[in-house]
Amino acid sequence: MSADFDLDAYLGHIGYTGVREPTLDVLKAVHYAQALKVPFENLTVLAKSPPTLDIASLQTKIVDEGRGGYCFEVNALLASALDALGFDVTRLMGRVRWKTPNDVATGRTHMLLHIALPEGPYLADAGFGGITMTGPIPFKTDVELETPHEPRRLLSVEGAVDTYELQVMLGDQWAPVYQFSLEAQSAADYELSNWYTATHPQSIFVQFLIAARPEADRRITLFNTDLTIRGRDGVAEVTKLHTVDEIAMALADHFDLHLSADERKTILAPHLDGWRSLSAN
């Protein structure tokens, strides 16, 4: 546990007021509270400022300043909170398979967490964009696993030792999310992947605006100029945004992300024409 981590401030920020014990019920409650409070977003990357992953910086950004982040940030924050609560946490890394053809190889660019509990091992992950898990799942393969939102399942990856694929059910179909092993990762591993994700010109986080946050009865996502609100029934309402001010208003209203006039000019405006062009195609 980091001496820099302020558990009281973190729990106050996510609105958790329950007991502070390393139990399954507490894990579920904290995971759910963070997932609904802390948005997934890449504004720091679009500002050409690679995120800093030390816990003091993350607590300042997310807890004190009310911002969000992507997986390396929000899951590192969750891991530190679980450490402080006395959980046995192992930090892992995955290869994203979401919306990726089977023949396209991907690097390890996603952070997730393994939690050892008396009930058995669980996986926690509060940082995967528009399909972020809202609760931990037991580490059990080949069975449907319930979360507060969509069901998940874990499959062993054929031909790979101790490697697993997380899938999500959308409608009546299973879709791959990422593959991972149980090899513990170090801070250096995350620094390398974070640098690539935040600076490589082909990284989606460098090219596109992404924000996402679940609510109890829906998921809200912003991808470039498309604001999507999808209910639990799968029905989606998509609103096309046309101006910097409309995007900034959507970020404020739906994700509690408030940009200054200067941030609108430096983060959003340079990309707007490209994002509108992509949305139109």
- 8 Å CB contact between 71 and 128: yes
Structure confidence by residue, pLDDT tens digits, 24-51: 999 999 999 999 999 999 999 999 999 9
pLDDT score of 233: 87
Label residue 238 by pLDDT band (50, 70, 90): very high
In the residue annotation, 71 being an active-site residue is answered as yes
Can you name the residues that pair with 169 across neighbouring β-strands? 174
Edge-to-edge strand list for the sheet holding 152-156: 137-138, 120-124, 108-117, 88-96, 173-181, 163-170, 152-156
Catalytic residue among 6, 13, 31, 71: 71
Structure confidence by residue, pLDDT tens digits, 5-25: 999 999 999 999 999 999 999
Q: Which residues contact 257 (CB under 8 A, 6 or more apart)?
A: 39, 41, 43, 66, 67, 68, 211, 251
In eight-state DSSP terms, residue 148 is S
Answer whether residue 1 shows pLDDT above 50.
Answer: no
In the residue annotation, 125 being an active-site residue is answered as yes
Per the confidence metrics, is the pTM higher than 0.75? yes
Structure confidence by residue, pLDDT tens digits, 46-84: 999 999 999 999 999 999 999 999 999 999 999 999 999
Rounded (to 5) percent helix, strand, coil in the chain: 35, 25, 35
Answer whether residue 279 shows pLDDT above 90.
Answer: no
pLDDT score of 3: 61
23's tokens: 């139990």
The DSSP code sequence of 132-143 is: --SS-EE--BSS
In the residue annotation, 110 being an active-site residue is answered as yes
Catalytic residue among 13, 31, 110, 254: 110
Catalytic residue among 6, 13, 31, 125: 125
- 8 Å CB contact between 184 and 108: no
Structure confidence by residue, pLDDT tens digits, 121-149: 999 999 999 999 999 999 999 999 999 99
What Cα–Cα distance (Å) separates residue 24 from each residue in 85, 120, 130, 194, 237?
12, 10, 25, 30, 35
Structure confidence by residue, pLDDT tens digits, 86-119: 999 999 999 999 999 989 999 999 999 999 999 9
Label residue 2 by pLDDT band (50, 70, 90): low
Select from 43, 52, 94 the least CA-distant residue to 77: 52
- Domains parsed from the chain with CATH numbers: 7-187 (3.30.2140.20), 217-280 (no CATH)
Structure confidence by residue, pLDDT tens digits, 242-267: 999 999 999 999 999 999 999 999 99
Largest CA distance in the chain: 53
197's tokens: 């994700």
What is the mean predicted confidence (pLDDT) over 229-252? 95
Select from 229, 246, 247 the least CA-distant residue to 238: 229
pLDDT score of 280: 78
Label residue 211 by pLDDT band (50, 70, 90): very high
